[in-house]
Structure 1
Amino acid sequence: MTFLGFPDEGLVFYEGLEADNSKTYWTRHRGVYDTCVRAPMQALVDELAAEFGPPKLFRPYRDVRFSNDKTPYKTHQGAVAQQEGRGAGAWYVEISAEGLRVAGGAWRLESDQVERFRRAVADDVQGPRLRTEVDRLAAAGWSIDGDRLTRVPRGHAVDDGRADLLRHRSLHAGRLFDPADWLHGAEALDRVRTAWRDLSALNAWLADNVGATAKEVRRR
């Protein structure tokens, strides 16, 4: 299937879901979700797979077992792509009533990955590489996020020029494109491809220095 854009009906669907997050609304509008949200998202990531890796679309249903918020449906459709065998570092795209969100990096690191991440940040060669790339992304309008400690971990100087990076337990960059006419056409594919390419250096650093976890990850 060729990607032709996200129909406006998909964004309107999510506006309605935000107002009425119920099985009744979902069942009544399931066809709109399938046709105007999920299908174009699948087409989008399929066209990007050759460059960025096999894609995975997230389920529209929320896991409410461990959340105080018991609303059953996500108010966005997300998808992730990751190159096989590279471990940490992935690309993300999301459509919602707010517009199109693109991001890249690592959202969750296991303890062995966090240890390698900190060791690389403290390294005199790899640390400055990450510092330069994070600063470049921030200057270009990307938000730099991730799970952070309140203090620099033990064994590292507080006045280190990379102290803020040392506090990270995960690291990713993202930006949101507001709804616009281009979102409903093939230009959206070019926007995502360009944004993901801008995140390639960050993901390469994570893949080279953090890699995959050696721990057995328990899936919920």
Structure 2
Amino acid sequence: MLQPSTLKFLKDLKKNNNKPWFDAHRKQYEDARKDFETFIQAVIDRHAQKDDTIREQEAKKCIFRINRDIRFSKDKTPYKSNMGASINRGGRKSVFAGYYFHLEPGQSFVGGGIWMPMAPEMKKVRQEIDYCFDEFKKIVQSKKFTTIYGDLYKEDDMSLSRVPQGFDKDHPAADYLKLKSWIAMQSVKDADLTAKDLVKKTLMAFETLQPMVQFINRSLED
């Protein structure tokens, strides 16, 4: 579980997103980050018993910086009003698919997959789906997967308008071949963030996602 004070800090930061306020509340930030880090480490330690590819990962190296990159953004607020952790084989910046937890009051979610891979990796994932669609479909259309995630994220911003070149436009996997990211997400209510079973529910979400993560990463190993 996470502490209510962690959620309060993020809510307050969203209302006071400036350096003087942040500097005056740095202790609260450090406490909130430590709380989130403790939670993520507990998830890593437990889930690594099922997925040993993340066994070497440390929470502090999986968590994103609170500072925003504002160099090319019209929004010049200096800080994120959320905390995120990407738990991936090979580390947060690796090419492999993995698991993600997004902490943001009112907008938290758990899930993962692979986000906007580069062209060579994207081609490999699509080829694997093409070659082994029956297997992929069995994973993402299973009762357990659909109960937790519904389906992969298929909004327009993550999907091509047409089946990519090299694949039949009537391919049975067309909806998945058109994707530019293969991710699944489950919303987490604020009340659940501070509940005692948060680690347990997060582990269930990660375990459900694991077959898809393994499927994608298999395609990237060559």
What's the TM-score once normalised by structure 1's chain length?
A: 0.83
What is residue 159 of structure 1 aligned with on the other side?
A: 170
Match of 1:58 among 24, 48, 64: 64
- What is the aligned-residue identity percentage? 23
Q: Partner of 1:140: helix, strand, or coil?
A: helix
Q: CA deviation at 1:138?
A: 6.1
Contact 2:109 2:188 in 1 (8 A): yes
Provide the C-alpha distance between the structure 1 equivalents of 2:73 and 2:145, rounded to a whole number of angstroms: 31
What is residue 43 of structure 1 aligned with on the other side?
A: 38
Alignment of 1:124-143 (within 5 A): 126-136=132-142, 139-142=146-149
Q: CA deviation at 1:60?
A: 0.3
Q: CA deviation at 1:93?
A: 0.8
Q: How has the CA–CA distance of structure 1 residues 99 and 187 changed in structure 2, closer, same or farther, with 3 Å as cutoff?
A: farther
Residue 173 of structure 2 aligns with an amino acid whose one-letter code is R
Contact 1:80 1:93 in 2 (8 A): yes
Moved beyond 6 Å, runs of 4+: none
Provide the C-alpha distance between the structure 2 equivalents of 1:172 and 1:59, rounded to a whole number of angstroms: 22
Alignment of 1:93-132 (within 5 A): 93-98=101-106, 100-123=108-131, 126-132=132-138
Contact 1:87 1:211 in 2 (8 A): no
Residue 139 of structure 1 aligns with an amino acid whose one-letter code is T
What is residue 149 of structure 1 aligned with on the other side?
A: 160
What is residue 215 of structure 1 aligned with on the other side?
A: none
Q: CA deviation at 1:131?
A: 2.0
Say whether 1:30 aligns with 2:26.
Answer: yes
Provide the C-alpha distance between the structure 2 equivalents of 1:178 and 1:196, rounded to a whole number of angstroms: 17
Aligned length: 204
Q: Which string of whole-angstrom CA distances, capped at 9 and with x for unpartnered residues, describes residues 161-186 of structure 1?
A: 21011111221111111111x53244
Q: CA deviation at 1:197?
A: 0.9
RMSD: 2.2
Contact 1:138 1:144 in 2 (8 A): no
- The structure whose residues are more often helix, as a share, is 2
Q: CA deviation at 1:92?
A: 0.7
Match of 1:173 among 167, 179, 184: 184
What is residue 207 of structure 1 aligned with on the other side?
A: 217
